[in-house]
Chain A
Amino acid sequence: MNGRRLPKRHGKQRTWPAFWVFVGPFAIGLVLFTFVPIVWSAVLSFFDAHNTVTPSTFVGLDNYVDMLTNPDFLHSLLTFTVFAAFIVPTTVAIALGLALLVHRLRFAKAFFRSVFFLPAACSYVVAALIWKLSVFNGVRFGLANTVLGLFGVDQVPWLSSASPPWYWVALVTLRLWLQVGFYMILFLAGLQRIPTDLYEAAYVDGAKPGWQVFRHITFPQLRATTVAVVLLNLIAAYQAFDEFYNLMASARGYPPFARPPLVYLYFTALGSGQDFGHGSAGAVILALLIAIVTVLQAKLFGFGRRED
Chain B
Amino acid sequence: MDGPHAVGYTRTARGRVGAVARYTALGVAALLFLLPFYLIVRNGLASEADITAPSWTFFPTSIHWSNVTELFRDPSVPMARALGNSAVVSVVQTVGQVALSSMAGYGLARIPFRYANVVLGAIVATLMIPAAVTFVPTFVVVSSLGWVSTLRGLIIPGLFSGFTAFLFRQYFLSFPKELEEAARVDGLGYWGAYWRIVVPNSLGFFAAIGVITFLGAWNAFLWPLVIGQDESSWTVQVALSSFLTGQTINLHELFVAAAVAILPLLLVFVFLQRYLVQGVAESGIKG
Contacts and interface: CB of A to CB of B under 8 A. Distances in A.
Complex A–B touching at CB under 8 A: yes
Given A104-B3, A106-B10, A196-B4, A53 B221 contact: no
Contacts of B142: 33
Given A40-B141, A125-B240, A186-B284, A146 B56 contact: yes
Main secondary structure of the interface of A (DSSP, over half): helix
A283 B265 contact: no
Interface stretch (B60-68, B124-132, B202-210): B124-132
Interface in A277-307: 279-280, 283, 286-287, 290-291, 294-295
Nearest to B56: A146
Interface string A238-276: 110110011001110000000000100110011000001
B109 interface: yes
Contacts of B130: 235, 238-239, 287, 290
B24 to A, nearest CB: 11
A192 B2 CA distance: 9
B112 to A, nearest CB: 5
B101 interface: yes
B246 A33 contact: no
Contact of A118 (B132, B269, B277): B269
A15 B112 contact: yes
A132 to B, nearest CB: 6
B199 interface: no
B89 interface: no
A39 B33 CA distance: 43
A224 B221 CA distance: 30
B157 interface: yes
Contacts of A143: 39, 56
Contacts of B226: 266, 270
Interface string B100-113: 11011011111111
Contacts of A127: 36
A44 B56 contact: no
Contact of B268 (A3, A101, A121): A121
Contacts of A61: none
Contacts of A33: 138, 141-142, 156-157, 160
Contacts of A162: none
A23 interface: yes
Nearest to A289: B133
B190 A209 contact: no
A26 B284 contact: no
A49 to B, nearest CB: 9
20 contacts: A2-B110, A15-B112, A15-B190, A19-B112, A30-B126, A35-B126, A44-B137, A101-B22, A101-B26, A121-B268, A122-B36, A122-B262, A123-B261, A124-B219, A125-B219, A125-B244, A130-B39, A131-B36, A143-B39, A269-B136
Question: Lowest 3 A-B CB distances belong to which pairs?
Answer: A22-B107, A41-B137, A37-B137
